[in-house]
């Protein structure tokens, strides 16, 4: 191989290395986020109930344990079980699953933003009425019930296990101040 060809190859290799370094800096500056509605099955070495029902407590447990590389938080189940935090010594592939939130070490819990829906927010007080939500229905059914009732101004949906075994919908005749609360979804309709 000639010196000219070696120089070209060295130049191309240097460009590739520079691009890779630049990309790693860009991706390193992006905040790491937990994935809502995803599980990471496998790699479990420790599990514990989360009495607060807050996935942020699970992320914090992982941060404090040097063996932890990733985590999964399972919401309370309909049989009355509590929320559970699963610490993992690997980073298994994520799998879509509405029961869970998962993340890697260093990932904060960022709730999805949906227009007209306040994730992890309760609006306590001002209740018009409340009722059980059927299995398989979620916050959308609660919001629809509020929209259909002319007296309803806001709603709060509680996942199963947060106010009882079953999911519950609270229709509000008054708009009360929002409070952060895991397992709840609220919104203002009128």
Q: Mean pLDDT, the chain, as a whole number?
A: 84
> How many angstroms separate the CA atoms of 141 and 134, rounded?
9
Q: Which residue has the higher pLDDT, 38 or 36?
A: 38
At residue 20, the pLDDT reads 41
Q: Which residue has the higher pLDDT, 122 or 13?
A: 122
Q: In this predicted model, which residue has the larger pLDDT, 141 or 18?
A: 141
Are 94 and 85 in contact by the 8 Å Cβ rule? The answer is no
User: Comparing C-alpha atoms, which of 52, 32, 95, 94 is closest to residue 182?
Assistant: 52
- What would the mean pLDDT of 34-63 be, rounded to a whole number? 93
Tens digit of pLDDT for each residue in 146-187?
999 999 999 999 999 899 888 999 999 999 999 999 999 999
Instruction: Specify whether the CB–CB gap between 180 and 110 falls below 8 A.
Output: no
Rounded to an integer, the average pLDDT of 77-84 is 79
Determine contact, residues 138/187, Cβ cutoff 8 Å: no
| CATH architecture of the domain covering 35-104 | 3-Layer(bba) Sandwich (3.50)
CATH superfamily of 118-188: Hepatocyte Growth Factor (3.50.4.10)
120 and 111 Cβ atoms separated by less than 8 Å: yes
The model scores a pTM over 0.75: no
Which has more confidence, 109 or 61?
A: 61
| Per-residue pLDDT at 32 exceeds 70 | no
The pLDDT assigned to 114 comes to 74
CATH 3.50.4.10 location in the chain: 35-104, 118-188
């Amino acid at each position: 191989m000639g010196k000219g060809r070696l120089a070209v190859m060295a130049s191309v290799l240097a460009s590739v290395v520079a691009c890779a370094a630049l990309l790693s800096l860009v991706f390193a500056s992006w905040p790491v986020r937990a994935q809502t509605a995803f599980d990471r099955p496998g790699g479990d070495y420790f599990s514990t109930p989360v009495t607060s029902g807050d996935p942020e407590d699970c992320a914090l447990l992982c941060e404090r344990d040097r063996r932890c590389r990733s985590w999964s938080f399972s919401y309370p189940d309909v049989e009355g079980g509590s929320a559970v935090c699963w610490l993992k010594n690997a980073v298994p592939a994520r799998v879509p699953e509405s029961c869970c939130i998962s993340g890697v070490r260093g990932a904060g819990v960022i709730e999805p933003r949906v227009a007209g829906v306040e994730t992890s927010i309760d609006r306590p007080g001002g209740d018009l009425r409340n009722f059980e939500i059927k299995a398989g229905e979620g916050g959308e059914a609660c919001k629809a019930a509020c929209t259909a009732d002319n007296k309803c101004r806001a709603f709060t949906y509680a996942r199963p296990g947060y106010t009882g075994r079953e999911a519950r919908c609270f229709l509000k005749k008054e708009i009360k101040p929002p409070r952060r609360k895991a397992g709840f979804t609220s919104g203002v309709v009128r």
